[in-house]
A and B are shown apart, each in its own frame.
Chain A
Amino acid sequence: MRPVYVLGVGAHPWGKWPDTPQVGLAIHAMKAALAEANLGWRDLQGLVAASSRFEGGMGWGLHANELAQAVSEHGMACVNVGGACAAGAVAFHTAHMMVASGQYDTVATLGAERMPKGFIPRPPGAADDPTDHDFLRWKTIGATNPAYWAMEARRRMHEVGTTEETFAAASVLMRRHGAHNPYARFRTPSSVDEVMASPMVSDPLRLLEICAVSDGAASVILGSEAQARQTGGPLIQVAGSAIATGQFGDPATRIPMVGSTPRPGVAHTSEVVGAVQKAWKAASIGPEDVDLLELADNTAWHVLAWPEMLGFFEPGESDRRLAAGDLQVGGRLPINPSGGFLSFGEATTAQALVQICELFWQLRGQAGGRQVENARIAMSAVLGLGANGGSVVLKR
């Protein structure tokens, strides 16, 4: 295995873009990444794309091939990977291995998404299968995704005494960060009063504490050290890249499960914990070395629960850390300086890659009003359907 570097990143701003096809968003993000890396399309030896369920990919999830055929037919290797909301991390991990193995010098990753409105529905044409949790959760209970997150939030209130105002404050922090990010969709700062006044969706979570769905695209280009030196600028190395799936006995009630088998002593959301621990091991670092963390804040609950779950804080400690300002840019462990999912809205397969874009911008000192001063080690963590966890550590 040889060291791998990030040559450039790019994104299309998040939003609702009904007039731009998904491939159009993808081309925009990739052009930006190529420009940052001083590369042309022909320089790409490979493209790894996160496969979407919602649009494009010729019905087979062939998003990399679709892009090659749309914009540059030069024979590059195309790899398409699944991983639901963690697909971008799986794509990154795959591209990383391709370059690290020495078989490829320059490989791009891509996630591009246009999301359907409202609650994410069952896949069209899915069979009525009584062993399929997704069928059962809709048919017998009507359990939406926010209902799952809300049950976690309610349990947190019971176990560590988190208040509804603290959830609101976590949401406000994400918006405060997002206000400085031109790629974020929601850039107006909010207040605790405003969040508390937003409609209750699934108690105790309110509308402004749950991520919306957005359209967006992101691309990260990886290469060898020689490639990185040609690009110029401070070298940004991939210190760790890992994916993992869940452990038997995980106490999380995962979307879309209607039954689970919790066992004592097993980590909550073990797929993400497993990926993070593997990424730390690869990077030979621990939580104390991380200058900023981008995590998958599908709700305000995630902002509080994940830093504890991943080992940054003790259980229940996040509430106090939030109040003390430790989680903001300028604090001890800035969480989601990008603004997170709560400022972006989730564009599922693109989300893990825009997290990595943010790590890069932060380490390059290009993050403007949300810059974490002198950031040297930046880390992401993401979760996808099917108990998919992914984590990336970049270092300058």
Chain B
Amino acid sequence: MDSTILRPVVDEILQLDEGGAHLLGSACQDCGTLYFPPVLSCRNPDCAGKTIVPSQLGGAGVLFSFTIQRYRPPALFALDPWEAYAIGSVDLAGGVRVLGIIQAPFDHLRPGLAVRLSTSVLNDGDEGAVITHVFVPDEDAPV
């Protein structure tokens, strides 16, 4: 096993490059709506064109709400070793709200917390570490 290889758990929606981590979504060229995950069509009823192009999402965001998941979800979620973790909804620039794991001490969590997109290892798979998108406190955010 090569632990330096990082493999997104779903590689169609998460990308790593020199600039860091990006979520892959869609943007509507006609009304500007951003979507995550990628969509086949814009769903804004006031948008007539609905021309969809790929779009990278990420960077800084604001925690809208959160919870701490105390019970282990079904096996499709391969967090190993298992421990309770936080899930939150994060408002990103452009009016898209994204769900993700929030990697922060539980007692730091509060709506309004400045966060940014990152990645975290879910488990050490056979062909490299399996990672998923997470949000972490944004140390660079203006207070």
Interface residues, chain A, CB within 8 Å of chain B?
A: 119, 121-122, 128, 130-131, 133, 135-144, 147, 150-152, 154-155, 158, 199-205, 248, 253, 257-263
Q: Is the CB of A248 within 8 A of B70?
A: no
Query: A85 CB to closest chain B CB, in angstroms?
Result: 19
Which residues 84-131 of B sit at the A interface, judged by CB distance below 8 A? 85, 87-89, 91, 95-101, 110-112
Q: Is the CB of B77 within 8 A of A119?
A: no
Q: Is the CB of A144 within 8 A of B71?
A: yes
Q: Does B65 contact A (CB under 8 A)?
A: yes
B112: nearest residue on chain A (CB-CB)? A158
Question: How far does the alpha carbon of A103 sit from the alpha carbon of B102 in the complex, in Å?
Answer: 56
Q: Is the CB of B98 within 8 A of A258?
A: yes
Question: How far does the alpha carbon of A121 sit from the alpha carbon of B75 in the complex, in Å?
Answer: 10
On chain B, the number of residues with a Cβ less than 8 Å from chain A's Cβ atoms is: 48
Q: Is the CB of B37 within 8 A of A203?
A: no
Q: Is the CB of B37 within 8 A of A262?
A: no
Q: Is the CB of A260 within 8 A of B132?
A: no
Partner of A261, one of B33, B45, B67, B71: B33
A137 neighbours in B (Cβ, 8 Å): 99
Query: A76 CB to closest chain B CB, in angstroms?
Result: 38
Partner of B73, one of A138, A158, A199: A138
Q: Is the CB of B70 within 8 A of A154?
A: no
Which residues 12-71 of B sit at the A interface, judged by CB distance below 8 A? 12-14, 25, 33-40, 43-46, 64-71
Partner of B13, one of A121, A140, A200: A140
Q: Is the CB of A154 within 8 A of B111?
A: yes
Q: Does B9 contact A (CB under 8 A)?
A: yes
Query: A272 CB to closest chain B CB, in angstroms?
Result: 18
Q: Is the CB of A142 within 8 A of B69?
A: yes
Q: Does B5 contact A (CB under 8 A)?
A: no
Q: Is the CB of A253 within 8 A of B45?
A: no
* A-B residue pairs in contact (CB < 8 Å), sample of 15: A138-B73, A139-B10, A139-B77, A140-B14, A141-B87, A141-B99, A142-B73, A142-B76, A142-B87, A151-B88, A201-B70, A204-B67, A253-B89, A258-B99, A260-B96
Q: Is the CB of B66 within 8 A of A154?
A: yes
B99 neighbours in A (Cβ, 8 Å): 137, 141, 143, 253, 257-259
Q: Is the CB of B10 within 8 A of A155?
A: no
Q: Does B6 contact A (CB under 8 A)?
A: no
Question: How far does the alpha carbon of A205 sit from the alpha carbon of B66 in the complex, in Å?
Answer: 12
Q: Is the CB of A131 within 8 A of B98?
A: no
Q: Is the CB of A253 within 8 A of B40?
A: no
A147 neighbours in B (Cβ, 8 Å): 67, 69, 87
A152 neighbours in B (Cβ, 8 Å): 65
Known contacts A130-B13, A140-B10, A259-B35; is-contact A119 B73 (Cβ 8 Å): yes
Q: Is the CB of A261 within 8 A of B95?
A: yes
Q: Is the CB of A141 within 8 A of B132?
A: yes
A263 neighbours in B (Cβ, 8 Å): 95
Known contacts A144-B71, A248-B45, A259-B36; is-contact A158 B77 (Cβ 8 Å): no
Q: Is the CB of A139 within 8 A of B97?
A: no
A203 neighbours in B (Cβ, 8 Å): 67-68, 70
Q: Is the CB of B73 within 8 A of A139?
A: no
B46 neighbours in A (Cβ, 8 Å): 248
Q: Is the CB of A158 within 8 A of B70?
A: no
Q: Is the CB of A130 within 8 A of B38?
A: yes
Known contacts A140-B13, A201-B71; is-contact A260 B97 (Cβ 8 Å): yes
Partner of A144, one of B73, B88, B91: B73
B11: nearest residue on chain A (CB-CB)? A130
Query: B83 CB to closest chain A CB, in angstroms?
Result: 12
Known contacts A140-B9, A140-B132, A141-B77; is-contact A259 B69 (Cβ 8 Å): no
A199 neighbours in B (Cβ, 8 Å): 70
Query: B17 CB to closest chain A CB, in angstroms?
Result: 18
Question: How far does the alpha carbon of A259 sit from the alpha carbon of B92 in the complex, in Å?
Answer: 10
A128 neighbours in B (Cβ, 8 Å): 10
